[in-house]
Amino acid sequence: MMNNTTARNRQGMSMIELLVGVTLFGLAMLPLMWMGTTQTRGAYSVGKHMMAGQIAASFLDSLLGLPYKECLEKIQKYSGQGKVPVLDNADLQETLQSVADDAVKKDMETSFRYFRYQFGYSQDEDARILRLDLEVFYRVDESDQKSEQSVQLSVLKFGERNG
């Protein structure tokens, strides 16, 4: 037959056992939490890289749709300006003005705030070929460090031959 005192002691866990269990659980969860944070940061960086690529492709696509002479004039205006904030681009501003929802417009302006672009070009006048070079820069925040990365795209624009 069991003593009454022994039966009472075995009905629950002591505070020390509970503290040790919670501590071990916390230590086991730390690597999982760290891995989740790292993956989230990586996904955010990939998202910015994809957005920069889409901005670059959109800018170049709008230039490729123009006639050769008009494209040349526009690219001459853009090149040599250094790194220009994406929000300063007139084409993007026209797009933002066409957005009716103010919340969506504000969200887009926030998204594009740290993106900048830089144009360059080279021209073969005899063959009427333009090489358009575009680099879109975006800010990467790694803990306390802020760095800048970029996406570069180059395309060829062919002009019509004169008679």
pLDDT at residue 11 in the model: 66
CB atoms within 10 A of CB 153: 16
pLDDT at residue 163 in the model: 43
Provide the 3-class DSSP secondary structure of residue 95. Answer: helix
| Residue at 6 is within a domain | no
Q: Structurally, how many domains does the chain consist of?
A: 1
| Residue at 1 is within a domain | no
Provide the 3-class DSSP secondary structure of residue 146. Answer: strand
Q: What is the pTM of this model?
A: 0.64
- 86-116: burial string, b at 16+ Cβ within 10 Å, e else: bbebeebeeebeeeeeeeeeeebeeebebbb
- Where is 92: in which H helix or E strand? helix 90-98
| Residue at 163 is within a domain | no
| Residue at 2 is within a domain | no
| Residue at 32 is within a domain | yes
| Residue at 8 is within a domain | no
| Residue closest to 140 by CA, chosen among 131, 151, 130 | 151
| Residue at 51 is within a domain | yes
pLDDT at residue 63 in the model: 86
Q: Judging by beta carbons within 10 Å of its beta carbon (0-12, 13-18, 19+), is residue 56 exposed, middle or buried? A: buried
| Residue closest to 58 by CA, chosen among 83, 94, 105 | 94
Tens-binned pLDDT, residue by residue, of the chain (163 aa) = 555 555 555 666 788 888 888 888 888 888 877 777 666 666 677 888 888 888 888 888 888 888 988 888 888 888 777 788 887 777 777 766 666 677 767 777 777 777 888 888 888 888 888 898 988 888 877 666 778 888 898 999 888 765 4
Structural domain including 91 reads: 13-158
Report CA 91 to chain centroid distance, whole Å: 20
